[in-house]
């Protein structure tokens, strides 16, 4: 499944408010986290060597063995395996078969050389008789060539000539001895020497492995049938040593010329194969037996024996007993009541997650009714549980539990939702992390304190880079909680410092992870955070900049609407930033035909005078469709894009509908739906507020000599009209909300259209005539005076 298809599926999931799916997410989350729980282990106290035992005396509830430290036990097993002799067996058939094959080779070689010698004699005879060819010579030549190919060892021409000389030395020993003055080296002597060397090397032994892999000083268990003896591996040859040994043997033993040595070496190596075979399976079997024989325990603690007393310092020996008691309890739990343990762990996670779901149901309806957001919260919780699981599986002698990035989860929840959701989520995550780590509730405290400070640091975040200011808050949270618990346990200064170092790494890594995951979650789950909204509210955004340039009247109207919508949203507890940004983008569709809307006409004649009312209504309504397309083209998120079709809902375009009714002919039927916006109606409080702010801002602008009373009456009329038309039925605005919205609108508009003091007109005094020399200075003074008078008139 690709990222795009997964994102589309999550979008569909968000649109379905299915109760069965909510329970499915809850149960699946609980099951997945239970799989991460340690098998029955629970840490009854957070103890380290050198700390003081602050609980009451610990008495052994039953007898149990004292287990060795895991790393010590593994080292002993490795040493036992290392001390096992590698098993090698001699394969006697290899030497026998190779020597037999070598004997056959020399027989074939001698026959081939005889054929070649006979062929050469025939050719010499033909040459003397000056004959060009002969059928017998041709047949013998073909047979000789086939015989050479069947030797399976390739010789060069030079080597073949030397072999021919050796053969001829066997055939005509007296003649060559007379010519050379001594008995020549023959093919039979070469055969004898090669057989002798091959047999000698097989007696020494050739192993089928590289000795460098095992070490030069390694002793092996050499087995021949039923006998076994321990011998050094160095006495045998491997494939790397074999070639050099064969060549040195021929050179040192016979002092022949290099060509003859080369031929002897080539033949010998062709018939040498490993006859000492490494028995890998048998060796591994004996190594496993040796490792299994290593004892896992070093003693026994008897029932009712005191393990440690109150205020006693924990030593290495006592820690072994404490760890062994924990393992013994885990084994008993696994043997006797494993199902009950798993069931308890499941309900541990289920109840904590269920309480978070109850909070969503009671106080965060938007999250509860959005399965996509519920899945997002579940993924964050599962991610934190997985980090806790990793700290248990990675076996290092360091406090890596402080690398569990609970602060990252807290910041993600705070940025995506709000600080209250983040706090309850942090509490949930902290308890689940404690459960995964075997009821390590000290870790729950560390996580809760650091996570709470982390979400506090991003509660009013305005830019993405402000995420990194949380580094200090996270580090302070960890340090305070670490020092508090460490002092209570009498931890050493080195132990406290070590924990603080890992906490510092967490403080740096958590904001980095938050920054990366935030971008992923925004795109994958179609979440619009306040950070995204603040970025969209920048007037330098390409779409807003284009709106201000092409439709300045509409842009000014949108900015005023943003002020009204933000104030109203704050008054009723809605998302003020979303309402303001939605107002900025609600009319971007007017960019395509700005001159068709009155706020951009700047006193020009109306372009609708020559158009039929129905066509005019279609032109007006088209800005909704154009706006949606343009917003998608610029990548505007759905939460903001919804304001474009919803700010008009399904209201009637009354001006052109009334015109159509006045102009209609006799018996002509006017369809009212042709003069309505396509909708849908506002689905949220924010879109409902923007619908009201749009109508109020536009209508109050047309009031002649506006007063507070006139503005209030206009606001009342608009709110009542939208309410009676049913346009607000699909959003969550209550009558109390509408009253607060009216008050906030009136307060803002009253400030804009407040009564001004009527200043008396001041007539500019006549200026005395001036000379040409002072005219420029007096002219400047006159201009300044007139600007002051004009300024007073304008105010």
User: Cis peptide leading into 297, omega within 30 of 0?
Assistant: no
Which is nearest to 727 in space by CA: 751, 695, 758?
695
Which is nearest to 673 in space by CA: 626, 617, 726?
617
Structure tokens that stand for 764 in this block: 């500019």
How far apart (Å, rounded) are the C-alpha atoms in residues 706 and 695? Answer: 16
Which residues are CB-neighbours of 242 under 8 A, at least 6 positions away? 201, 206, 269, 272
The pLDDT tens digits for 742-781 are 999 999 988 877 655 555 555 555 545 543 343 444 443 4
Radius of gyration of the chain (CA): 48
Structure tokens that stand for 664 in this block: 């209609």
CB 185 within 8 A of CB 162: no
Which is nearest to 517 in space by CA: 404, 380, 423, 421?
380
Among left, alpha and beta (phi > 0; psi -120 to 50; other), residue 38 is beta
Which is nearest to 438 in space by CA: 502, 345, 351?
345
3-class SS of residue 492: coil
3-class SS of residue 571: helix
Residue 206's beta-bridge partner residues? 237
Angle between helices 19-36 and 338-363 in degrees, nearest 10: 140
pLDDT at 777 (0 to 100): 40
CA atoms within 13 A on the CB side of 662: 8
CB 380 within 8 A of CB 411: no
pLDDT at 785 (0 to 100): 40
Neighbours of 705 (CB within 10 A): 7
The parts of the chain modelled with pLDDT lower than 70 are 1-17, 38-47, 126-140, 173-184, 216, 253-257, 332-346, 348, 359-365, 602-609, 754-795
According to DSSP H, which parts of 230-315 are helical? 239-254, 258-270, 280-292
| Integer CA distances (angstroms), 654 to 180, 233, 406, 676, in order | 131, 103, 56, 9
pLDDT at 114 (0 to 100): 84
Structure tokens that stand for 340 in this block: 């009950």
CB 506 within 8 A of CB 407: yes
Which residues are CB-neighbours of 694 under 8 A, at least 6 positions away? 561, 583, 586, 647, 648
Which is nearest to 237 in space by CA: 187, 202, 282, 190?
202
Structure tokens that stand for 275 in this block: 């006859």
Which is nearest to 172 in space by CA: 119, 114, 128?
114
Distance of CA 593 to the CA centre of its chain: 46
pLDDT at 345 (0 to 100): 61
CB 742 within 8 A of CB 719: yes
Structure tokens that stand for 508 in this block: 């740096």
The pLDDT tens digits for 579-606 are 999 999 999 999 988 888 877 776 655 6
Which residues are CB-neighbours of 392 under 8 A, at least 6 positions away? 38, 436, 437, 438
How far apart (Å, rounded) are the C-alpha atoms in residues 576 and 557? Answer: 18
Which DSSP letter does residue 132 get?
-
Whether the full predicted model's pTM is greater than 0.75, yes or no, is no
Which is nearest to 746 in space by CA: 692, 670, 667?
692
3-class SS of residue 652: strand
pLDDT at 274 (0 to 100): 92
CB 312 within 8 A of CB 53: yes
Neighbours of 645 (CB within 10 A): 22
Helix (H) or strand (E) holding 547: helix 542-550
Structure tokens that stand for 685 in this block: 């409080």
DSSP letters for 18-49 = -HHHHHHHHHHHHHHHHHHS-SS---SS---T
pLDDT at 39 (0 to 100): 56
pLDDT at 787 (0 to 100): 38
Distance of CA 2 to the CA centre of its chain: 15
- Exposed/middle/buried for residue 130 (C-beta within 10 Å: 0-12, 13-18, 19+): exposed
Dihedral, 585, 587, 593, 597 alpha carbons, nearest 10: -140
pLDDT at 162 (0 to 100): 85
How far apart (Å, rounded) are the C-alpha atoms in residues 138 and 112? Answer: 16
Angle between helices 239-254 and 258-270 in degrees, nearest 10: 140
Which is nearest to 722 in space by CA: 704, 709, 735, 705?
735
Residue 297's beta-bridge partner residues? 67
CB 312 within 8 A of CB 57: no
């Amino acid at each position: 499944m690709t990222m795009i298809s997964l994102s589309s599926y999550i979008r569909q999931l968000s649109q379905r408010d299915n109760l069965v799916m909510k329970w499915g997410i809850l149960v699946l989350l609980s099951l997945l986290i239970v799989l991460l729980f340690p098998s029955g282990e629970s840490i009854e106290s957070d103890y380290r060597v050198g700390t003081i035992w602050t609980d009451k005396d610990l008495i052994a509830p039953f007898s149990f063995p004292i287990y060795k430290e895991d790393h010590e036990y593994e080292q002993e097993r490795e040493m036992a395996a290392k001390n096992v002799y590698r098993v090698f067996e001699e394969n006697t058939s290899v030497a026998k078969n190779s020597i037999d094959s070598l004997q056959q080779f020399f027989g074939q070689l001698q026959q081939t050389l005889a054929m070649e010698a006979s062929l050469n004699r025939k050719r010499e005879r033909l040459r003397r008789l000056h004959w060009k060819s002969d059928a017998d010579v041709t047949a013998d030549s073909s047979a000789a060539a086939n015989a050479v190919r069947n030797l399976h060892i390739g010789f060069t021409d030079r080597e073949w000539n030397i072999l021919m000389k050796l053969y001829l030395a066997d055939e005509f020993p007296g003649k060559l001895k007379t010519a050379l003055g001594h008995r020549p080296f023959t093919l039979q002597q070469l055969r004898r020497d090669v057989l002798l060397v091959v047999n000698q090397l097989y007696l020494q032994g050739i192993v089928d492995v590289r000795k460098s892999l095992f070490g030069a000083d390694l002793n092996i268990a050499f087995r021949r049938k039923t006998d076994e003896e321990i011998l050094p591996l160095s006495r045998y040859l491997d494939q790397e040593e074999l070639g050099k040994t064969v060549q040195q043997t021929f050179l040192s033993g016979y002092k022949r010329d290099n060509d003859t040595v080369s031929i002897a070496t080539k033949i010998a190596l062709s018939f040498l194969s490993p006859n000492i075979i490494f028995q890998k399976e048998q060796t591994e079997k004996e190594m496993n037996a040796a490792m299994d024989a290593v004892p896992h325990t070093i003693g026994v603690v008897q029932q009712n024996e005191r393990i440690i007393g109150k205020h006693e310092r924990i030593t290495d020996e006592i820690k072994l007993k404490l760890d062994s008691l924990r393992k013994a309890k885990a084994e008993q739990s696994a043997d006797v009541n494993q199902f009950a343990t798993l069931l308890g762990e499941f309900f541990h996670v289920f109840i904590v997650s269920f309480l978070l779901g109850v909070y969503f149901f009671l106080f965060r309806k938007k999250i509860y009714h959005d399965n996509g957001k519920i899945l997002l919260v579940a993924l964050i919780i599962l991610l934190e549980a997985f980090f806790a699981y990793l700290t248990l599986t990675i076996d290092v002698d360091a406090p890596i539990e402080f690398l569990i990035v609970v602060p990252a989860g807290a910041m993600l929840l705070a940025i995506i939702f709000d600080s209250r959701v983040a706090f309850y989520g942090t509490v949930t995550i902290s308890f689940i992390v404690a459960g995964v780590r075997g009821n390590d509730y000290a870790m729950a405290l560390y996580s809760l304190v650091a996570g709470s400070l982390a979400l506090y640091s991003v509660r009013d975040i305005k830019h993405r880079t402000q995420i990194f200011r949380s580094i200090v808050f996270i580090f302070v949270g960890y340090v305070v909680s670490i020092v508090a618990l460490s002092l209570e346990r009498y931890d050493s200064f080195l132990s406290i410092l070590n924990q603080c170092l890992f906490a510092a790494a967490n403080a740096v890594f958590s904001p980095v992870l938050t920054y990366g995951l935030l971008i992923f979650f925004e795109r994958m789950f179609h979440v619009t955070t306040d950070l995204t909204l603040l970025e969209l509210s920048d007037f330098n955004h390409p779409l807003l900049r284009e709106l201000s340039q092409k439709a300045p009247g509409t842009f000014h109207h949108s900015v005023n609407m943003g002020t009204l919508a933000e104030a109203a949203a704050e008054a009723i507890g809605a998302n003020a930033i979303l309402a303001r940004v939605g107002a900025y983008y609600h009319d971007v569709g007017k960019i395509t035909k700005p001159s068709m809307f009155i706020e951009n006409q700047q006193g020009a004649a109306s372009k609708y005078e020559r158009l039929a009312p129905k066509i005019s209504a279609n032109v007006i309504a088209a800005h909704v469709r154009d706006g949606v397309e343009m917003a998608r083209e610029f990548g505007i998120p759905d939460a903001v894009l919804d304001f474009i079709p919803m700010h008009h809902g399904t209201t009637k375009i009354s001006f052109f509908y009334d015109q159509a009714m006045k102009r209609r002919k006799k018996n002509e039927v006017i369809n009212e739906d042709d003069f309505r916006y396509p909708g849908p109606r506002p689905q949220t409080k924010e879109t409902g507020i923007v619908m009201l702010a749009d109508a109020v801002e536009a209508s109050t602008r047309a009031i002649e000599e506006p007063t507070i009373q006139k503005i209030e009456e206009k606001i009342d009329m608009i709110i009542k009209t939208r309410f009676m038309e049913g346009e607000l039925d699909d959003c969550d605005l209550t009558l109390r909300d509408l009253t607060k919205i009216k008050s906030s609108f009136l307060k803002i508009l009253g400030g804009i259209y407040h009564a001004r003091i009527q200043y008396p007109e001041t007539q500019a005094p006549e200026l005395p005539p001036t000379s040409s020399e002072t005219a420029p200075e007096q002219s400047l003074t006159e201009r300044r005076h007139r600007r002051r008078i004009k300024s007073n008139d304008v105010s």
